[in-house]
């Protein structure tokens, strides 16, 4: 416990990334192998963290605090709780997956690419573990740059447009958040203490008007990141232009920052305003679910289709996070991990097949099961994970979200449930046109099936899809206490309009066992 | 109640699951021989395990059950779902049908799929299906049942599209999955409603026993909930069990291999809705209005599908519509409160319909895929076993006295009449006439009369090997003797199946017992209608084909309507699918690309209004741009910082 494990996890990718820069660039296998081995280190460290994590504690734990700019109340302080735990593990897991999956996708400036992936990991991890608002904001901005570079250097033909859109959009949100953040700190400073410590800031006294404005400033930044309808149009462009690795990180982790930040900042900092925003957030989530699914349906480009499916799926996540119900919120947090896995898996697999054919147009495929059966089966599994078939991870998440939401707002849950049908419609249509039917494109006859390296990179995702689907308890156990802490905080703040009374489990032995 | 803890139940699911794993391995390594052993082997072993489980159940009190709590699946807040299995008397019937008929069909498949290069994949899917179906009936809570419920949907999807190289097969698979998902969404909402309503009036649970036990309380305190929940679950049942309005996927599902149609689309999966309603019978009896809707849906489906069956050209399509229609009878049964009669008919149907499909498969196999009855005829000579077993199945489904459906269908219709659903009874009786007609029409066209085969095909027609005919004969025997487990008028052992199932099911009190005379009258009517149907089929297709021409000439219009299946598929395309596609394109091309993105790009352009900046962006010098952004960001941050600091 004495080891500053969170710092180690966060900064090891940066340090290893810098080491990577000193390695020779040619042959490319040197930086590739090094980067892969390096990326396993933060993953191993995150498993240590997982092991040390106390599931019974809902508050932040493993806190590390070092004084940084004490006069401004800025500390280098890190911590982890049920909101960030699994996202940290997901981040450290997806980085080696991405490195392995981009082995042949990236053909030029390989070393720089790998460097940026590690820097990106650093930024994402930093944002997840920071419990100082200033530190968080630093990492939040920092994530942007490696992603922009990955898009701009290794992206597709329209990469500059996509990059500028991505950067400007996100920056616009960030600027707003920045102002709100400073206002908040200064408002809190009126009580005599200047601090950026999040938990302390939770108790800031604000007028109703202040709270509402600040909430919306934060919320808009997070809406863009999630992305919520109608702030989503940067996502399909970014996904379509990004290389495989960029898409996986984008879908897998970057988008989760929006949801995560709601839980860590927007909701607990401004509990009343957050509750008042309920109709809007729920409305946009539900619209996003249906709209994303509908727009996904006619997409001719596989990546674009999956990008729109993300809009739909993130609508589910936001619905869960905003259910203000233990079950719904826990499900929403789990669903962030689930979406990272399934969508990450889809982008990886699409990347593999793109690598061979250099097209993502669904219409140019068809009947490839016979030539690439391993690919087809893995694609099927991830597709089923994505549409939430029971036994896979997304079912558990969606089920919890919807049942949680049903208590608070039945009609929102009912409309959202149609996403179950629409999701099947676009995913199965894509799967059918790519994998089934006659093999009409002669170029496909010589496709080679996935290599062991490629299978290995998807394998962790497939394993987790089933693990979370069949035995989600270890995941849920570590999320739920933190959700209860947040709900307790909302209750104390008097934000109880949409808060269902925190139901006590009826059979006491279960509580004792926990 | 005496429940017995046993870990036996998990193995009933695990064995076919392992069979699936081995089959997948065999498919991956291209070792069909392995799968030909493990596929049927796993099923027979599962059947043995099911027999052991049922024999243990018989050692318990009538209301006892075998229980296997494996672990807590989903737990958060009040939600607490155990992965647990339970076998009571209702489940025992289901697992015996699934593993018993399933074993026969697996064995038959050895012959049927003999020359298919993908036989390993076939057996893998089939084993996975059986595992899912067993989870569906063994699951002790709605969510666990739902694992199986959607799992069978997946297997159905994969097996309908088994020959995936033909696009229509893949289309049919997808249609099935999506139609099912429509039902499944309603099923989910029903679950949510039950859960939170129980949270209000008692203990929040999705456990089936828990729901049944609290159904009365729920109806007292929130009277609308059982009705709403039962209707939502009914929508789920109409998807899975191919009832009006979601039945449209089943006729297309015939694209799959014929043994699949026998197992999934006749004997087991499509009866899941009937099982689910019977399983929740205590909830359903608290919702009489919902029950009437159930019965009406069953009645309408039963007649509606039967009318389409009489004109089908394709032998398997006749059987497909017949299945829709027959499940309608089961749904009538559970809808009028005769839950055991519904299950009785489910069981009989599993025998005779599986048999009909397997016979059709044998014909197809002999004729190299020919399904058009206009290209058959006279097969009786060369395929005597197939012809005779088909004939027995036809007698059974038509309800000829002494054969399976005579007992089971009659019990259903009688219950409908006695319960006061006279209109539903009328629909059912009319459909019985159609049933007898279409099945004997199929028999006469296929097996009797002059051969209309292509000459080169005719030369190769032969009876099937015994690996295929023995399952036919076993099912034929069951179609003859099966019905005697439910005798009318307290003859001999009387309604043994009803008494056996009684502890698992809710009991509905009728307004008064009908006289034996009434019952005899009902039975005579049904039988007379059935015999009329057979006689009519014989007239048109054997005795005087010229009558057929005359009838056809007079009923061309009706024939067109029936032959085109009332244009329901076209109607759905027109009313739902096409508008959805159009709306999707509109949202994409107009709302997303023009409106939303237009605003975004417009705002972007205004913000970065200096066109030289825009031009610089397009020079491609990313690094300088990113640097500019960084500087800009720092400037913005610094500016705000200063501003705020001053303020």
3-class DSSP string for B156-172: HHHHHCCCCCCHHHHHH
Separation in Å, CA A334 to CA A251, A283, A313, A320, A396 = 15, 21, 12, 10, 8
- A227: preceding bond cis by omega (within 30 degrees): yes
Domain extent, residue A461, equals 277-507+510-514
Q: Which of B79, B193, B591 sits opposite A327 (nearest CB)?
A: B79
DSSP class of A62: E
Contact B160, B173 (CB under 8 A): yes
Task: Point out the residues of chain B with pLDDT beneath 50.
Answer: 610-612, 643-647
Residues B44, B45, B51, B52, Cα dihedral to 10°? 170
Give residue B602's pLDDT: 80
d(CA B497, CA A48): 59
Candidates B123, B187, B189; CA nearest to B159 is B123
Tens digits of pLDDT across chain A (514 residues)? 468 999 999 999 999 999 999 999 888 889 999 999 999 999 999 999 999 999 999 999 999 999 888 888 899 999 999 999 999 999 999 999 999 999 888 888 999 999 999 999 999 999 999 999 999 999 999 998 899 999 989 988 888 888 888 888 888 888 889 889 999 999 999 888 889 999 999 988 899 999 999 999 999 999 999 999 899 999 999 999 999 999 999 999 999 999 999 999 999 999 999 999 999 999 999 999 999 999 999 999 999 999 999 999 999 999 999 999 999 999 999 999 999 999 999 999 999 999 999 999 999 999 999 999 999 999 999 999 999 999 999 999 999 999 999 999 999 999 999 999 999 999 999 999 999 999 988 989 899 999 999 999 999 999 999 999 999 999 999 999 999 999 999 988 887 777 766 544 444 443 333 3
Does residue B134 contact residue B151 with C-beta atoms inside 8 Å?
A: no
Beta bridge partners of B314: B372
What is the rounded CA–CA span in Å between residue A496 and residue B105? 58
Would you call A294 an interface residue with chain B, using a CB distance cutoff of 8 Å? yes
Nearest CA in chain B to A234: B597
pLDDT of residue A513: 37
CB contact under 8 A, A428 and B177: yes
Given an 8 Å threshold on Cβ–Cβ distance, is A438 in contact with B178?
no
Q: Which residue has the tokens 């058959």?
A: B376
A145, A325, A402: residue with CB nearest B188: A402
Domains in chain A, number: 1
- Choose among B45, B586, B157: nearest CA to A432: B157
Q: Which of A421, A483, A507 to mutate to test the interface with B (most CBs of B within 10 A)?
A: A421
**Token pair belonging to A80:** 């982890």
Asked if A262 contacts A321 with a C-beta cutoff of 8 angstroms, the reply is yes
Q: What is the pTM of this model?
A: 0.93
- What the block records as the tokens of A373 is 């059966």
| Interface contact A331, partner B, CB < 8 A | yes
Chain A, nearest residue to B608 by Cα: A168
Return phi, psi of residue A392, to 5°. -110, 170
- Helices A326-357 and A452-470, axial angle in degrees (round to 10): 160
Classify the phi-psi angles of A358: left when phi > 0, otherwise alpha if psi is within -120 to 50, otherwise beta: left
Residues A305 and B113: their CA atoms lie apart, in Å, by: 37
Per-residue pLDDT reduced to its tens digit, B144-166? 999 999 999 999 999 999 999 99
A403 chain-B contacts, CB cut-off 8 A: 79, 191-192, 195-196
Q: Is the CB of A116 inside 8 Å of chain B's CB atoms?
A: no
The answer to whether residue A371 is domain-embedded is yes
Which of B28, B74, B634 to probe the A interface (max A CBs under 10 A)? B74
A75 DSSP β-pair partners: A67
Tell if the CB–CB gap between A152 and B626 is shorter than 8 Å. Answer: yes
pLDDT confidence of residue B635: 59
Residue A67 bridge partners (DSSP): A75
Count residue pairs from A and B with Cβ separation < 8 A: 204
Whether A438 contacts chain B with CB within 8 A = yes
The answer to whether A230 contacts chain B (CB < 8 Å) is yes
Tell if the CB–CB gap between A183 and B78 is shorter than 8 Å: no
Of A357, A493, A479, A379, nearest to A431 by C-alpha is A379
Domain regions of chain B by residue span? 1-140, 178-256+268-563, 565-606, 608-647
| A37 contact B CB<8A | no
pLDDT at B611: 45
Which phi and psi (to 5°) does residue B84 adopt?
-140, 150
Distance from CA of A473 to the nearest CA of B (A): 6
Instruction: Output the pLDDT for position A512.
Output: 37
Contact yes or no for B626 and A407 at CB 8 A = no
Cis previous bond, B245, omega within 30: yes
Q: What tokens appear for A340 in the block? A: 């990272």
Residue among B70, B77, B590, B637 with most chain A CBs within 10 A, to mutate: B77
DSSP state of B463: P
CB-nearest partner of B203 from A294, A472, A506: A506
Give the count of beta carbons closer than 10 Å to the beta carbon of residue B297.
Answer: 23
Question: Minimal Cα–Cα distance from A460 to chain B, Å?
Answer: 19
| Contact of B364 with B317, CB cutoff 8 Å | no
Contact B77 A476 (CB under 8 A): no
Q: How many CA within 13 A on the CB side of residue B67? A: 17
Q: Do A420 and B626 touch (CB under 8 A)?
A: no
Which chain B residue shows the shortest CA-CA distance from A480? B76
In a domain, A138, yes or no: no
On whether residue A76 sits in a domain, the answer given is no
Burial level of A354, CB count in 10 A (0-12/13-18/19+)?
middle
Res B628: pLDDT: 56
Query: Does residue A323 belong to any structural domain of this protein?
Result: yes
Write down the residue that tokens 């709306």 correspond to. B583
Question: B77 and A325 in contact by Cβ < 8 A?
Answer: yes
Using an 8 Å Cβ cutoff, are A417 and B189 in contact? yes
State the smallest CA–CA distance between residue A33 and chain B in angstroms. 27
Q: Nearest CA to CA, how far is A28 from chain B (Å)?
A: 23
Q: Which of B73, B196, B618 is opposite residue A407, by nearest beta carbon? A: B196
**Phi and psi, residue A389, nearest 5°:** -70, 135
Determine the Cα–Cα distance for residues B259 and B121; give it in Å rounded to an integer: 14
User: What ipTM does the predicted assembly reach?
Assistant: 0.93
Using DSSP bridges, classify how beta strands A61-69 and B65-76 pair: parallel, antiparallel or unpaired. Answer: unpaired
Q: What is the DSSP letter of B60?
A: S
Tell me whether residue A260 is in a domain.
Answer: no
Q: Is the separation of the CB atoms in B495 and B507 below 8 Å?
A: no
């Amino acid at each position: 416990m004495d080891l500053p494990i969170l710092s180690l996890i966060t900064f090891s990718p940066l340090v290893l990334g810098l080491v990577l820069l000193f390695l020779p660039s040619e042959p490319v296998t040197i930086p590739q192998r090094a980067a892969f081995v390096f990326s396993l280190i933060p993953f191993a460290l995150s498993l240590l963290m997982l092991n040390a994590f106390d599931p019974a504690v809902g508050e932040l734990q493993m806190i590390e605090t070092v004084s940084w700019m004490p006069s401004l109340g800025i500390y280098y302080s890190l911590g982890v709780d049920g909101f960030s735990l699994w996202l940290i593990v997901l981040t450290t897991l997806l980085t080696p997956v991405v490195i392995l999956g981009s082995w042949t996708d990236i053909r030029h400036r390989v070393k720089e690419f790998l460097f940026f992936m590690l820097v990106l990991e650093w930024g994402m991890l930093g944002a997840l573990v920071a419990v100082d608002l200033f530190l968080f904001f630093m990492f939040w901005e920092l994530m942007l740059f490696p992603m922009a570079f990955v898009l701009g250097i290794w992206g597709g033909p329209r990469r500059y447009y996509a990059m500028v859109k991505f950067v400007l959009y996100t920056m616009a949100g960030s600027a707003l958040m920045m102002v709100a953040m400073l206002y908040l700190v200064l408002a809190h400073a009126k009580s005599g203490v200047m601090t950026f410590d999040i938990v302390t800031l939770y108790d800031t006294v604000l007028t109703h008007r202040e709270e509402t404005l600040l909430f919306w400033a934060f919320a808009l930044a997070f809406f863009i990141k999630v992305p919520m309808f109608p702030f989503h149009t940067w996502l399909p462009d970014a996904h379509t232009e990004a290389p495989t690795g960029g898409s996986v990180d984008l879908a897998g982790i970057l988008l989760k920052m929006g949801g995560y930040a709601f839980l860590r900042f927007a909701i607990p900092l401004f509990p009343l305003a957050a509750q008042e925003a309920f109709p809007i957030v729920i409305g946009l989530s539900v619209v996003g679910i249906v709209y994303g699914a509908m727009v996904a349906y006619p997409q001719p480009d596989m990546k674009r289709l999956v990008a729109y499916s993300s809009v739909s799926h993130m609508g589910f996540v936001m619905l869960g996070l905003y259910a203000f119900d233990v079950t719904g919120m826990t499900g929403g947090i789990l669903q962030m991990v689930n979406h990272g896995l399934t969508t990450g898996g889809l982008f990886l697999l699409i990347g593999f097949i793109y690598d061979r054919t250099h097209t993502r147009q669904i219409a140019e495929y068809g009947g490839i099961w016979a030539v690439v059966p391993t690919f087809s089966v893995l694609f099927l599994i991830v597709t089923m994970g994505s549409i939430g078939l029971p036994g896979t991870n997304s079912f558990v998440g969606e089920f919890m979200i919807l049942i949680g939401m049903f208590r608070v707002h039945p009609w929102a849950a009912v409309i959202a449930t149609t996403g179950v049908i629409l999701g099947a419609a676009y995913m199965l249509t894509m799967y059918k046109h790519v994998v089934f039917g006659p093999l009409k494109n002669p170029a496909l006859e010589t496709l080679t099936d996935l290599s062991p390296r490629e299978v290995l990179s998807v394998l962790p995702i497939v394993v987790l899809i089933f693990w979370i689907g069949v035995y989600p308890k270890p995941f849920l156990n570590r999320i739920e206490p933190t959700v209860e802490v947040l709900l307790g905080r909302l209750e104390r703040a008097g934000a109880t309009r949409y808060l269902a009374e925190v139901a006590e489990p009826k059979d006491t032995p279960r509580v004792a066992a926990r | 109640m005496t429940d017995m803890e046993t870990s036996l139940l998990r193995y009933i699911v695990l064995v076919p699951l392992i069979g699936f794993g081995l089959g997948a391995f065999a498919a991956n390594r291209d070792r069909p021989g392995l799968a030909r052993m493990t596929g049927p082997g796993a099923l027979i072993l599962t059947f043995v395990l099911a027999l052991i489980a049922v024999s243990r159940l018989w050692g318990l009190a009538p209301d006892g059950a075998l229980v296997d709590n494996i672990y807590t699946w989903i737990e958060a807040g009040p939600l607490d779902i155990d992965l647990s299995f339970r076998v009571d008397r209702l489940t025992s019937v289901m697992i015996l049908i699934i593993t018993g008929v399933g074993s026969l069909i697996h064995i038959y498949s050895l012959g049927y799929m003999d020359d298919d290069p993908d036989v390993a994949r076939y057996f893998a899917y089939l084993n996975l299906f059986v595992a899912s179906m067993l989870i569906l009936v063994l699951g002790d809570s709605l969510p666990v049942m739902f694992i199986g419920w959607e799992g069978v949907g997946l297997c159905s999807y994969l097996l309908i599209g088994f020959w995936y190289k033909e696009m229509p097969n893949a289309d049919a698979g997808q249609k099935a999955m999506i139609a099912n998902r429509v039902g499944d969404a309603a099923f989910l909402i029903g679950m949510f409603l039950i859960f939170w309503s129980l949270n209000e009036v008692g203990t929040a649970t999705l456990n089936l026993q828990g729901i049944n036990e609290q159904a009365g309380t729920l109806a007292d305190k929130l009277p609308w909930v059982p009705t709403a929940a039962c209707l939502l679950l009914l929508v789920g049942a109409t998807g899975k069990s191919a009832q009006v309005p979601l039945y449209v996927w089943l006729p297309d599902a015939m694209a799959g291999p014929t043994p699949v149609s026998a197992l999934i689309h006749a004997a087991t999966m499509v009866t899941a809705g009937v099982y689910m309603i019977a399983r929740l019978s205590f909830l359903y009896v608290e919702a009489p209005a919902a029950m009437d809707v159930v019965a009406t849906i069953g009645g309408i489906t039963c007649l509606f599908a039967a009318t389409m069956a009489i004109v089908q050209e394709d032998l398997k399509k006749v059987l497909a519509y017949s299945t829709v229609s027959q499940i309608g009878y089961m749904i009538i049964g559970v809808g009028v409160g005769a839950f055991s009669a519904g299950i009785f008919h489910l069981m009989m149907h599993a025998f005779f319909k599986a048999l009909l499909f397997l016979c059709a498969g044998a014909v197809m196999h002999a004729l190299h895929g020919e399904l058009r009855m206009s290209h058959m005829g006279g097969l009786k000579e060369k395929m005597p076993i197939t012809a005779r077993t088909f004939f027995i199945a036809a007698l059974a489904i038509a309800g000829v006295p002494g054969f399976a459906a005579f007992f089971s269908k009659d019990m259903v219709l009688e219950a409908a009449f006695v319960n006061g659903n006279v209109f539903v009874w009328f629909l059912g009786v009319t459909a019985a006439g159609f049933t007898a007609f279409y099945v004997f029409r199929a028999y006469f066209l296929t097996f009797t009369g002059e051969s209309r085969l292509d000459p080169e095909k005719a030369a190769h027609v032969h009876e099937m090997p015994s690996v295929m005919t023995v399952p036919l004969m076993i099912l034929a025997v069951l179609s003859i003797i099966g019905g005697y487990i439910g005798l009318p008028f307290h003859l001999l052992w009387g309604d043994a199946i009803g008494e056996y199932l009684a502890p698992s099911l809710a009991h509905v009190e009728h307004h008064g017992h009908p006289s034996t005379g009434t019952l005899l009258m009902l039975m005579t009517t049904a039988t007379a209608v059935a015999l009329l149907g057979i006689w009519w089929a014989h007239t048109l297709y054997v005795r005087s084909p010229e009558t057929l021409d005359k009838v056809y000439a007079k009923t061309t219009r009706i024939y067109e309507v029936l032959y085109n299946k009332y244009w329901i598929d076209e109607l759905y395309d027109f009313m739902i699918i096409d508008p959805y596609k159009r709306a999707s394109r509109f949202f994409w091309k107009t709302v997303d690309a023009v409106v939303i993105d237009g605003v975004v790009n417009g705002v972007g352009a205004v913000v970065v209004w200096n066109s030289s900046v825009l031009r610089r962006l397009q020079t491609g010098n990313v690094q300088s741009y990113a640097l500019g952004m960084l500087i800009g960001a720092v400037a913005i941050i610094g500016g705000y910082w200063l501003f705020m600091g001053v303020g």
